[in-house]
Structure 1
Amino acid sequence: MAILTHHHVNKVRHFNRFITRYIGVLEEGLLQSSYSLTESRILFELANGNNMTISGLTTLLGLDAGYVSRIISKLEKMGILHKIQSESDGRQRYLRLSEKGMEEYKILNARSHDEVYSKLNVIPYHEQERLVESMEEIEKILSHSSIVSEKDEVMIRPHKPGDMGMIVHKHGYLYDKEYGWDEEFEALVAQITADFIRNFQPALEKCWVAEMNGEVVGSVLVVKGSETIAKLRLLFVDPKARGFGLGTKLVQECIDFSRKAGYKKLVLWTNSNLVEARHIYKKTGFKLVSEEKHRSFGHNLVGETWELDL
């Protein structure tokens, strides 16, 4: 059981009052607009997510279903969004921003960027670094202290602009924290993602990105190796999303896609110390076919090649 003190409670309440005033959420219209904070957040989620339903949006925002429904009705009457019936399930209706809604989102997004820029611009660079690191630490602590379960909405989607930079960042950050790998690994990931974008062949290659509550928490790529061989690359699952089978789902997407694309074999290269990933590969049918010692990313490692006949 956590130990609470009135001092801690009062400090958190004081911080809440400070930050709400600082970022301007107490103003009647957010970012000099006619939209409330909740309305602006809904525009952001619909602009950056796919196949979003009212129930999914309600869960994501952690708000009352009736409250969200009233806002959706208001935005629909304003011509900001509309509802699209699912082709696969006639009972399901997805929310989409209209052309007007996308324009409004772009204005809000630009204003938000400019406002944050103006606030950071008056802070010395080294203090900006401390601020961002502290924010990351707060988010990490609060995320880990929350109950994460299968009810948290995880969406797997194709990549879009901006994803590759996030994939590089996530790999560089996580592998440094968990394995102590240096910038050489981050450079390798950057090269792989750059090659993927430059040489992308949609019928033969694909990237899947997993989001949980709007945050990128996983990814994997399939790239062409030859006419008959596909390569699985850059599998990662964020620690907060582990334990619920997301890694297995991402690998299975690769297997299914590679079969449909006509490949005869799916291969991958990993290292022996990546125990959780190796477990996923073994569980999904891959076989370890070769091992080789090497010096990379600041460490002595054992590289492994795994294969799956399709």
Structure 2
Amino acid sequence: MTEIKIRPIQREDNSKVAEMIRYVLVEQGAPKVGTAYEDKALDQLFETFQKERAEYFVLLVGDTILGSAGIAPLENGDPEICELQKMYFDPEARGRGLGSQMMQKCLDFAKSQAYSECYIETLPNMKAAQKLYLKSGFEHIPERLGDTGHYSCTVFMKKKI
């Protein structure tokens, strides 16, 4: 059986992770504007997450990056609230419980950084992602928190940690 590992992103992972995320966004029919697709940070995730109370993880199956997600302070938001950011999985990784493993890794990190709540935004058509978030204890909230810049994401969810 191929080894599955979740570890912090390394600088040399940047291009592979950005490529995987853009592939998934296109595959899911996401708009290229107002989403992670156009984020300048997408090509520099290692550097972007080199700040206090933030970490970005990659999920490897063997040596191949098939998923990623990160936790960071919510931009222009309550310092007690973190944001689950850029959680994406290659189609090969889906339906295997790997999303739940990644979610747990991120929430454990958030807890270790003394956040009290976790926020996420997603697109209405990303039903599988929403199902994972609900299963992980997130609840829908009526409005956007902070300033993510992802104006095309209109589904807002939050969880106490």
Instruction: Tell me the TM-score normalised to structure 2 length.
Output: 0.82
CA contact (8 A) 2:18 2:42 kept: no
Equivalent residue for 1:232?
Answer: 84
Larger radius of gyration: 1
- Among 162, 166, 172, the alignment partner of 2:22 is 172
- Among 105, 114, 118, the alignment partner of 1:266 is 118
Alpha-carbon separation, structure 2, partners of 1:180 and 1:196 = 24
Secondary structure of the 2:28 match is helix
Cα RMSD of the aligned pairs, angstroms, is 2.7
Letter in 1 for 2:120: L
State the 1:224 CA deviation: 1.3
Name the one with the larger strand percent: 2
Superimposed CA distance per residue, residues 213-245 of structure 1 (whole angstroms, 9 cap, x where no aligned partner): 211000001011243111100001111111111
- Among 135, 148, 157, the alignment partner of 1:306 is 157
- Among 48, 51, 57, the alignment partner of 1:201 is 51
Change (3 A) 1:216 1:199: closer
State the 1:162 CA deviation: 2.2
Superimposed CA distance per residue, residues 249-303 of structure 1 (whole angstroms, 9 cap, x where no aligned partner): 11111111111111111111111110111011000100110258xxxx9xxx661
Secondary structure of the 2:60 match is strand
Alpha-carbon separation, structure 1, partners of 2:153 and 2:54 = 28
Change (3 A) 1:195 1:242: closer
Name the one with the larger helix percent: 1
State the 1:167 CA deviation: 1.9
Alpha-carbon separation, structure 2, partners of 1:264 and 1:180 = 30
Instruction: Tell me the TM-score normalised to structure 1 length.
Output: 0.45
Matched, 1:283 2:135: yes
- Among 241, 252, 265, the alignment partner of 2:104 is 252
Relative contact order: is structure 1 or structure 2 higher (C-alpha 8 Å, sep ≥ 6)? 2
- Among 14, 38, 43, the alignment partner of 1:187 is 38
Change (3 A) 1:152 1:243: farther
- Among 186, 210, 218, the alignment partner of 2:59 is 210
Give me the identity figure in percent.
22
Q: Which runs of 5+ in 1 are unaligned?
A: 1-150
Counterparts in 2 of 1:45-124, with a 5 A limit? none
State the 1:180 CA deviation: 5.4
Letter in 2 for 1:306: M
Alpha-carbon separation, structure 2, partners of 1:290 and 1:163 = 35
CA contact (8 A) 2:14 2:46 kept: no
Q: Which runs of 5+ in 2 are unaligned?
A: 145-149
CA contact (8 A) 1:156 1:210 kept: yes
CA contact (8 A) 1:172 1:183 kept: no
Change (3 A) 1:241 1:177: same
CA contact (8 A) 1:196 1:223 kept: no
Task: Name the count of aligned residue pairs.
Answer: 153
Alpha-carbon separation, structure 2, partners of 1:228 and 1:180 = 30
Runs of 4+ in structure 1 off by over 6 angstroms are none
